[in-house]
Chain A
C-alpha cells in the first residue's frame, strides 16, 4: 500500500498511519497515475526529522473526492539523486524546485531545476536572487526586456524577463522571491494560535479570508472539534464576498488597461461597496479579524445579515450591467478575445488550478472536487463555472459568472441563517492532537489553497506548509504571453492577477 486514503472533511491523520515507501515505488506509481487528469499533486515537501529528511506527498483524486497521502525518507546528508518527476509531469516543478533549493536534494534530469524563492534558510547560499539563471536565446533579431523587481504601479515586486522578436514575446521567465518573509517558519516558531491566525491572514492579503479559513480548517482537524452550522455558513459568506470583491477588482483593472473607463470606475465603486460590506461586518475591508479557529468574534446579527443581503443584491445587479456592456462592446472583445491563450491540455500538464484553469476547460475546483465547509454540508449546491477558450476573455467571463454565482450563494445561505443560534468563541488554547498530519484544502478566488501542519509529540506545530494557487499559475501566465505582442502583457497579467507574497511566503 503506497497511500493512506482520506478526504478533505476527515480529521487529522496519525503520522504512523502514513505509509513510508521507497521513492522508486512512489515514482513508478505517479509516473502512470498523473497521466490521468483526475489526479494532481496538492502538496509535496520535505522536512527534517532528526538526521533524516522526510518527504510528504498529498495526491488529489478529483473523481473519487479522495486525498491520498504518502511519504518517503532519506538521510539528511545523502547525496543520491532522485529521478525527477517534473521531467514527466511538469506540474511537479515548484515542489521539486523547493526541495532542491532548501535541502540540496538533486532531482535527476529535472529540465527546469531553478531556484524557487531564495528562502532565507536555503542550503545553497551562493545562489542569490541577483544571480537567478535566466533562460537565454541567442539570435541577432532577438532582444530582452527586463521588468522589475519594482514595477510601474502600486504592486508587489517580481523580476520578469521577456525575450522578444520585434514586438512579439518568444519567452517570458518570471523570477520570484523578493517578497519572501519566512512565513512558514514563523508558524512553527510560535504556539500563540492568535499569532498563527494573523500570519495566515497575511499570507496573501487579498485572500485573507481564504487562507485564514484554510488555517482554521487545519487547526479544527487537530482539535477534533465539530464546527457549528452558523460558523460554517458565515465562513462561506465571507469567502464568497472575498471572491466577489477580487473578481470585481480585476474586472476593473482589465477595463483600465484597455482604456474602458466606464467599466473601470463602475467596478472600482462596486469593489468599494463589496469590501465596505465586509468592513461593516467585521471592521476590516479585507475580512481580517473575521475567521478564527473554532469560533468567531463577529457573529452575524440580524441587522448585519440584512445589510449583506441588500448590498450583495445591489452589487450583483449593477455588476451584471457591466458584464452585459463588456459583452456588447466589439472594441473590448477585440482586445480580450483570442489573447493570452492557455490550452486545456497545457493547463493540466502544468498543474494549473482555480479560475484560470477553469477558463481553459480544466475543471479544477475544490468546492466540488474536495468540498469543505458549506460545500461539504450541502448548504450550497456548487456547479463550477467552466469556459473552453483559455484566453483573457474566458478568464474574465469565469470571473464575471462567479461574481453572480457567489452573490446567489450568499443570498441562499443568509436566507437560511438563524441569528438566534448560539455562537462559539475562538479556541486558542485547547491542545492539538500530537504526532499528526493535518491538511485543509480551500477554493479561494484564485484557486486551490492547501495548508499542511505536522505536530510533534507535544502537539506543537513543528512544520507548517502553505500552498498558494499562484505557485502553479505563474507558469500559466508565462505560457499565456508566448506569441503575443508585449503590449498585451498587462491584460494577460491582470486576467490572472497572481500573488507574489503568497508564492514567496
Chain B
C-alpha cells in the first residue's frame, strides 16, 4: 500500500546536513575545553584528583584530550580554570597536539605531518575498515552514523568496507583488548599498502579507563604510526568527519 509510505516520506522531509563544513553542535555538547591559568590553582588540583583518567596535569597546567572522557566534572570543580566549549574539531595528526594548554583556542591539526602519499592517493576517496577492539559500542554507532541520512559522509567518497582487502586503511576503536590484539594485526596486514591508520575515541587514543587493565594489550600502537587521532567518548560523527576531511586535504581551516 502506498499511502502509509507517502506519509512517512512527507514527515521525513529533507534530512541531510547541506554543508558538512558548516555545522554547529548544541550548546550543551561537551567538546574542546579551554584552560585558564589562575594564581590559585587549588581547584585544579582537586579536579586533577577526581579526574577518572588522570587527564589533567596541574603544573604546568594541561589537559590531555586523548585521555579525557568529557565527563565535565573537572569544569564543575574548577569553573574558573576549565570550561568546555561545543567545538568538535579535535582530531589531529599528532598525539602531542591533543594535550591542550592554557589559552589554546583550537587543536592544531598539523597538516605538515600528513604523509604526502595519503593526500595523493586518498584525497578524493577513502575506504576504511573499522576494527572494534573492546570499544563500548557507542563509538561504533557514531562511526555508523557518519554514513547515515543526516551526515551522509559517503558524498565525499568516505565509506566503510566489509573487507580489509577493499580498504585504504583501518580505524581502531576501543582500548584494544588482549583478545583483539592479534585479529587487529591480521586485519591491518591484510589492507594493501600504502594505508592509513586512524584511532577513534579517547579509549583508543590512550586506553581510557582501561589504560592499566591487564586485559588490554596496546602494543600494536607502539609499533605503528597513526595518521589521525580523534578524541571523544564517543567521538561525535562530526569530530570524525572534520578529522578525515582535514586528512584528505578537503579542508584547510585548522
Q: Quick check: B177 and A178 within 8 Å, CB to CB?
A: yes
Bound-state CA distance A121–B215 (Å) is 9
A269 touches B216 (CB 8 A): no
Binds A, one of B58-66, B97-105, B142-150, B244-252: B142-150
Which residues on A sit within 8 Å (CB–CB) of B5? 262, 325, 329
The answer on a CB contact under 8 Å between B149 and A501 is no
* Contact A325/B4 with A289-B71, A501-B134 known, Cβ cut-off 8 Å: yes
**B36 contacts chain A at the CB level, 8 A cutoff:** no
Q: Is the CB of A318 within 8 A of B11?
A: yes
Whether A208 contacts B215 by the Cβ 8 Å rule is no
Report if B70 contacts A (CB, 8 A): yes
Mask for B197-221, Cβ within 8 A of A = 1, else 0? 0000001000011100111100000
**A120 with B214, Cβ < 8 A, contacts A178-B183, A268-B149, A284-B30 known:** yes
Q: Which of B144, B209, B234 contacts A198 (CB 8 A)?
A: B209
Residue-wise, chain B 76-88 has the 8 Å CB interface mask toward A (1 for contact) of 1000000010000
Query: Which residues of B have CB within 8 Å of A208?
Result: 138
Residues of chain A from 172 to 221 with CB closer than 8 A to chain B in the complex: 177-182, 185-186, 192, 194-195, 198-199, 202-206, 208
A262 near B8 with CB under 8 A, answer yes
Question: Is the C-beta of A499 less than 8 angstroms from some C-beta in chain B?
Answer: yes
Residues of chain B within 8 A (CB-CB) of A285 are 142, 234, 236
Q: B179 interface residue, CB < 8 Å from A?
A: yes
A276 CB within 8 Å of chain B = yes
| Shortest Cβ distance from B131 into A: residue | A150
Residues of A within 8 A of B216 (CB): 181-182
Cβ proximity bits A89-123 to B, threshold 8 Å, 1 near / 0 not: 00000000000000000000000000000111100
CA distance A382 to B241 in the complex (A): 41
List of A residues within 8 angstroms of B215 by Cβ: 119-120, 180-182, 185
State A199–B140 Cα separation when bound (angstroms). 18
Residues of B within 8 A of A281 (CB): 28
Q: Which residues of A contact B187 (CB under 8 A)?
A: 150
- Nearest A residue (CB) for B171: A154
Interface hits, A148-185 → B, CB 8 Å: 149-150, 152-157, 177-182, 185
Q: How far is the CB of A252 from chain B (nearest CB, A)?
A: 8
Residue B93 is within 8 A (CB to CB) of chain A in the complex: no
Give bound CA distance, A317 to B177, whole Å: 42
Q: Are B142 and A152 in contact (CB under 8 A)?
A: no
Q: Which B residues are in CB contact (< 8 Å) with A317?
A: 11
How far is B26's CA from A276's CA once the two chains are assembled, in angstroms?
8
B132 within 8 A of A: yes
Cβ of A118 and Cβ of B132 under 8 Å apart? Answer: no
Would A154 and B50 count as touching, CB distance under 8 A? no
Distance from B76 Cβ to chain A, minimum over Cβ atoms (Å): 6
Bound together, the chains give a CA A216 to CA B25 distance in angstroms of 29
Look across to chain A and name the residue whose beta carbon is closest to the beta carbon of B49.
Answer: A192
Which single member of B7, B132, B183, B210 contacts A186 (CB below 8 Å)? B210
Q: How large is the interface on B (under 10, 10 to 19, 20 to 34, 35 or more residues)?
A: 35 or more
B162 near A328 (CB under 8 angstroms)? no
Q: Tell yes or no: B121 within 8 A of A by CB.
A: no
Closest CB-CB distance, B137 to chain A, in whole Å? Answer: 4
* B96, CB-defined interface residue at 8 Å: no
Please determine whether B183 and A149 come into contact, CB atoms closer than 8 angstroms: yes
Q: A154-B143, A297-B76 are in contact. Are A206 and B137 (CB under 8 A)?
A: yes
Residue of A nearest to B144 (CB): A154
Q: Please tell me if the beta carbons of A321 and B134 are within 8 angstroms of each other in the complex.
A: no
User: A233 on the interface (CB 8 Å rule)?
Assistant: no
| Contact of B162 with A205 in the complex, beta carbons under 8 Å | no
Would you call B222 an interface residue if the criterion is a C-beta within 8 Å of the partner chain's C-beta atoms?
no
**In the complex, how many angstroms separate the beta carbon of B189 from the nearest chain A beta carbon?**
13
B residues near A199, Cβ cutoff 8 Å: 209
Instruction: Specify the chain A residue showing the minimal Cβ separation from B216.
Output: A181
Residue of B29, B71, B142, B208 with highest tally of chain A CB at under 10 A: B71
Which of B131, B150, B187 gathers most chain A CB within 10 Å?
Answer: B150
Task: Flag if A195 contacts B15 (CB, 8 Å).
Answer: no
Closest to B52 in A: A195
Whether the Cβ atoms of B142 and A129 lie closer than 8 Å is no
Question: Do the beta carbons of A289 and B72 come within 8 Å of each other?
Answer: yes
Type the 1/0 row for B228-244, where 1 means its CB is closer than 8 Å to any CB of A.
Answer: 00000110100000000
| A265 at interface, CB cutoff 8 A | yes
The answer to whether B7 touches A501 (Cβ under 8 A) is no
A181 close to B139 (CB less than 8 A): no
The complex places the Cα of A288 from the Cα of B144 at a distance, in Å, of 19
Q: Tell me the bound Cα distance from A120 to B30 in angstroms.
A: 34
User: Is B92 located at the chain interface by the 8 A CB criterion?
Assistant: no
Decide yes or no whether B224 CB sits under 8 A from chain A. no
Does chain B have a CB within 8 A of A454? no
* Chain A, Cβ-Cβ closest to B147: A154
Contact A181 B234 (CB under 8 A): no
Residues of A within 8 A of B214 (CB): 120-121, 182, 185
A283 at the interface (CB under 8 A from B): yes
A156, A203, A280: which has the most chain B beta carbons within 10 Å? A156
Given A180-B178, A205-B234, check contact A283 B29 (CB 8 Å): yes
A263 at the interface (CB under 8 A from B): yes
Q: Are B177 and A180 in contact (CB under 8 A)?
A: yes
Nearest Cβ on chain B to A205's Cβ, whole angstroms: 3
Do A155 and B175 form a contact, CB below 8 Å, given A284-B30, A297-B72, A428-B50? no
* In the complex, chain B residues whose CB is within 8 Å of the CB of A504: 134, 177
Q: What's the Cα separation between A173 and B26 when bound, in Å?
A: 44
* Beyond known contacts A262-B5, A281-B28: 7 more, CB 8 A cutoff: A181-B210, A272-B145, A279-B28, A283-B72, A284-B30, A285-B234, A329-B1
Q: What 5 pairs between A and B have smallest CB-CB spacing?
A: A205-B138, A205-B136, A195-B52, A182-B215, A152-B162
Residues of B at the A interface (CB closer than 8 Å) are 1, 4-5, 7-9, 11-12, 15, 25-30, 50, 52-53, 69-73, 76, 84, 130-145, 148-150, 160, 162-163, 174-175, 177-180, 183, 187, 203, 208-210, 213-216, 233-234, 236
| 23 cross-chain CB contacts under 8 A | A149-B183, A150-B187, A153-B160, A154-B130, A156-B135, A178-B177, A178-B183, A180-B178, A180-B179, A182-B215, A194-B52, A195-B53, A195-B209, A202-B209, A262-B8, A265-B148, A268-B150, A269-B150, A279-B28, A289-B70, A289-B71, A297-B76, A318-B8
Residues of A within 8 A of B (CB): 118-121, 129, 149-150, 152-157, 177-182, 185-186, 192, 194-195, 198-199, 202-206, 208, 249, 262-263, 265-266, 268-269, 272, 276, 279-286, 288-289, 297, 317-318, 321-322, 324-325, 328-329, 428, 499-501, 504
